[in-house]
Structure formats: C-alpha cells, structure tokens
Copies of this chain bind each other. A is one copy, B any other.
Amino acid sequence: MKKYRWQSGEFTAEGEKVVDELLDSPYSVKALFVTADRYALYEHKVLAKGIPVALVTPDEMKRLSSFSTPSPVLAVAEIPAQDVSGEHPVTETPGLYLMLDDIRDPGNLGTIIRIADWFGIRAVLCSEGCVDCFNPKVVQATMGSLFRIPVLYQDNVGLLGALHGRITVYGTLLRGDNIFETSLNNHAIIIIGNESQGISEKLQHFIHAGLFIPSYSETPGAESLNASVACAIVCAEFRRREQR
C-alpha cells in the first residue's frame, strides 16, 4: 500500500527486465530475492554493488510477489527523495513535459512513463490524485523507464499558476483542435486527463490550445482513445514536427 511504501521509503520491483534496469540505474537497491536457477544472471551486478541476496523457492516468491504469476526475481529499493530545494525542473530546462491529471490505472501510468522515456520528455508531472508510480504494477509496466526519467508529484494547479506565461500549455480535449493541423511549440507542458473524466476544469483554465486526435471511423460509436494511447500519439506528433 502507498502509505506504507512511503513511510518505509522503499518499493519493490519485479520482472527480469525491470530488475535488470534497476540494477543498472543510480537507485539504491537494498535487497534482491531470486530463485536459485536465475541467480547467475544477477551475481556479477549484486557482488559489484554489495547488494544482499536471498535465494528463494518459487513458493516463497509467490508469497513475496504482488502478482498472481510472479517472476523469478524481486528487488527492494529506496524511493529517491524529491529534491525540493531550488526551482522546479520545469522552469530550469526547456523541453517537453507531461502533466497527468489523476491517472488512476497503474497500467496507464506505467505505459505513459515508458512513452515519456522514448520521446525524451523532461519530466512527468503527476497530480496528487494519480496512482503512485512506485505501485508494483506501475513499476512493472514502465519496463525500467521509471528509473530513467523524473516522475514528480505536486499540486498541478499551483504549479501552472506559478509558471503563468513562461511555457505553452496543451491538453488533450474532445473539443480541441485537430492536432495534425495545430502549430506545436516544443517548450511546453502537455496535460493528459483522467481516464473517465478527462482534464479537470481547474486545469483546463491554463490550456492555451486543446488538442484532439481525429477519428477516421466510418461508423459512429468510437468515443475515445485510452489515455496512454492518446498520450503516445500526441508525443509522437510533437517529435515528428521537430525532425522536419
């Protein structure tokens, strides 16, 4: 649970690819649990970093894991401290930022973090109502991208208020402009709305241009795209424009 995760300051990461990425990252890994048949894959890295290892049986792994089909490896690592000194990163480095408004589904958040990594997003700015990025399902869905880009939680209304006029704010809106026909600025925040409610009114006030991905369906009915899918198409379009 989020509360205990943040109190303890530790989270778990599962899955061979994710643990591999974690061991290559600057994150501080406190312990590794692995089945005996897979230990050799991690031996070099854990010895080099002095990480305590426990060899466990598949049955023991089942009790440790958050998943019904556990992977053969699980790591416990430290949640990095959010740096609260100095300015907010958005004001320091020009570039593209994603702002998430109460994304609740762990798979969506994980997928969005992976998309952000692929498209060189500077940071993912989560509202306090977003699912915790250290939730085991989120960690797994990021496939290691969580360890490479900053995911920050804050009051997004306050942040946008403070940034007023210093960055362009876009948001995915059903009544927005066709993204393929809108000019896009690359020092920007792109807001992605909640899965069922979209972008909340208090954030909509800050949007300079609403973006809409047109449907090409010949029959009516398709009402929306999944939040992470919309995020992917929008990020790809921003980057495509740059390369011309």
Please give, as numbers and ranges, the residues of chain B lying within 8 Å of A222 by CB-CB distance.
114, 117-118, 145, 148
Decide yes or no whether A92 CB sits under 8 A from chain B. no
The reply to whether A21 and B240 form a contact with Cβ atoms under 8 Å apart is no
Cβ contacts A189-227/B at 8 Å (1 or 0 each): 000000000000000000000000111111101111110
Interface pick from A38-46, A49-57, A69-77, A231-239: A231-239
Please give, as numbers and ranges, the residues of chain B lying within 8 Å of A119 by CB-CB distance.
215-217
Closest-by-CB residue of B relative to A218 is B120
Assuming the contacts A180-B240, A236-B236, asked whether A111 and B229 have C-beta atoms less than 8 A apart, the reply is yes
Told that A143-B224, A144-B221, A232-B233 touch, could you supply 17 new A-B pairs with CB distance under 8 A?
Answer: A115-B225, A117-B217, A117-B222, A118-B213, A118-B222, A119-B215, A119-B217, A120-B216, A143-B223, A148-B217, A180-B243, A216-B239, A225-B232, A229-B232, A232-B232, A233-B236, A237-B240
Sample of 17 A–B contacts (CB below 8 Å): A114-B222, A114-B229, A115-B229, A117-B217, A117-B222, A118-B213, A118-B215, A120-B216, A143-B223, A145-B221, A145-B222, A148-B217, A180-B243, A216-B242, A225-B232, A228-B229, A233-B236
